[in-house]
Amino acid sequence: MERKFEIRTAQLKDAEQIFALVHLNRDQLVPRSMGNIVENIDRFTVAAIGGDIVGCATYQIHPEIGKSEEATVEVQSVAVRAPYRRRGVGRAVVEAVIRRVAPLAVKDVVVLTFAPGFFQKLGFETIEKTQIMHKLYTGCINCTKHADPFTCPEIAMRRRAAL
């Protein structure tokens, strides 16, 4: 990768490339429709090189997990285009999402992932899925990949928003 990527909040014009990136990684990510991405575009952070989106990440607030005045945020849809991996793009988009949500008095950041080694490098530790039951019964329950969130091989992880 010759050119350095830029981290910025997503714009509507990025929606199509975000859709393509999430779709390309559909085996690792919860699918998102174009409509869902457009409706939630303000929550996405992207890594861009010129007009090309090479990475993305977004978040969802879960006030029901933990104390309501200390929100828990889930990092979602983390993806980097294959040729740009292992160059700090994934770390940069996840850290940018965490910085964006910090003013919301976020205490914990959680993730459900097939890439625990990556998130471990970012300070996440594995937790029991029972610690995020609300997520399982509002999000995972709608996933078409597995009948039961507890047999789904995704790993639940958590870190403090401020390290």
Least distance in angstroms from the C-beta of 28 to ligand COA? 4
Q: In terms of C-beta distances under 8 Å and separation of at least 24 residues, what long-range contacts does 94-100 make, across chains too?
A: 94/57, 94/119, 94/122, 95/122, 96/7, 96/45, 96/57, 97/45, 97/57, 97/58, 97/59, 98/73, 98/161, 100/9, 100/45, 100/59
If binding is defined by CB under 6 A, does position 80 make contact with ligand COA? yes
If binding is defined by CB under 6 A, does position 78 make contact with ligand COA? yes
If binding is defined by CB under 6 A, does position 44 make contact with ligand COA? no
If binding is defined by CB under 6 A, does position 89 make contact with ligand COA? yes
Least distance in angstroms from the C-beta of 57 to ligand COA? 8
If binding is defined by CB under 6 A, does position 56 make contact with ligand COA? no
Contacting positions for ligand COA (CB under 6 A): 25, 28-29, 78-80, 85-91, 111, 113-115, 117-118, 121
